Structure 1
Amino acid sequence: MSNIRITKQFTFETGHALYGYDGKCKNVHGHSYKLSVTVIGKPITDTSNVKFGMVIDFGDLKKIVKEEIVDIFDHATVFNQNTPHLELASELKNRGHHVILVDYQPTSENMVIDFADKIKNRLPQNIQLHSLKLQETETSFAEWYQSDNQQS
């Protein structure tokens, strides 16, 4: 049976600031992110299985990504926990805002690495994460591929 890749796309709104950056992105701002999640596996061949012919049910993939990424990051503001933005984060939290503190600079590149780790940990054993594409603007995105991250 052939390996098949399937992709599901997600959207969410997230704010962030890049501490120490020398451009406009040092300021708190937001993006309408688009996340494309591609997994790879063999379609189920057991005719008695209700998911016969599927690599993974799109609904099951949606549940994983919503729980690990979308529901957490949507309408949140992300700051690197190792910067002076902690004061701002604390003030926003005190005013009822949803703030996420991460241990990395919240660039698209680092966010897509974080997302890959979170999604991989939730996939069934027979399904592999193939790639992620995190689009920050209409013309800018970061991509993560499992094949680029194979450990020797």
Structure 2
Amino acid sequence: MIYITRKEHFNAAHRMYREEWSEEKNAEVFGKCANPNWHGHNYNLFVTIKGEISYATGYLMDLKELKVIIHEYVVDKLDHKNLNKDVDFMQGKMASTELLCIEIFNQLKAPIEANAGVQLHSVKLYETENNYAEYFGE
């Protein structure tokens, strides 16, 4: 079994808040992330796939194809967007890094695994250089 990781990048804005809470409660729970004027991050996304190498090609999967899938299903939908308002797969969900990471995994699983013998192993999403979430589909 081999593991291959593709790194991508996108920029997006979001706000951490609950509409049913007061501004004071949101500020208490979410701090600066509850800013009513939103805030943004330069996200780094790592998508790891696994499987057996095809000895005919020497690849697990053509990484150009993996890049196309990641862009079509994730990066093009997220880059320079407002996660709370513009992203279909985040509608009605808190725009935390943790939930965004899970939803990215969910977006990528089927199109990646449509390639014979390839499995989506994990998605790692860096919100800052110090903070990231990683999801294995569990």
Name the TM-score, length of structure 2 as normaliser: 0.84
Match of 1:53 among 58, 77, 93: 58
- The structure with the largest helix share of the pair is 2
Q: Structure 2 unaligned segments of length 5 or more: list them.
A: 19-25
Letter in 2 for 1:34: N
Match of 1:25 among 33, 41, 44: 33
What's the counterpart of residue 117 of structure 2? Answer: 126
- Is 1:38 equivalent to 2:48 in the alignment? yes
Match of 2:105 among 116, 123, 129: 116
* Mapping 1:38-117, distance limit 5 Å: 38-46=48-56, 52-79=57-84, 89=85, 99-100=86-87, 102-117=91-106
What's the counterpart of residue 12 of structure 1? Answer: 10
Deviation at 1:45, TM superposition (A): 2.1
- Residues in 2 aligned to 1:100 and 1:61: alpha-carbon distance in whole angstroms: 21
- Residues in 2 aligned to 1:125 and 1:117: alpha-carbon distance in whole angstroms: 18
Deviation at 1:119, TM superposition (A): 0.5
Deviation at 1:139, TM superposition (A): 0.2
What's the counterpart of residue 145 of structure 1? Answer: 136
Q: Structure 1 unaligned segments of length 5 or more: list them.
A: 47-51, 80-88, 90-98
Q: Displaced runs of 4+ in structure 1, greater than 6 A? A: none
Deviation at 1:56, TM superposition (A): 0.4
Name the TM-score, length of structure 1 as normaliser: 0.76
Percent identical among aligned pairs is: 34
- Residues in 2 aligned to 1:125 and 1:53: alpha-carbon distance in whole angstroms: 15
Deviation at 1:132, TM superposition (A): 0.9
Please report the RMSD computed on the Cα atoms of aligned residues, expressed in angstroms: 1.2
Letter in 2 for 1:128: Q
1:26-83 deviation per Cα after TM superposition (whole angstroms, max 9, x unaligned): 121000000000000111123xxxxx1100011010000000111110000011xxxx
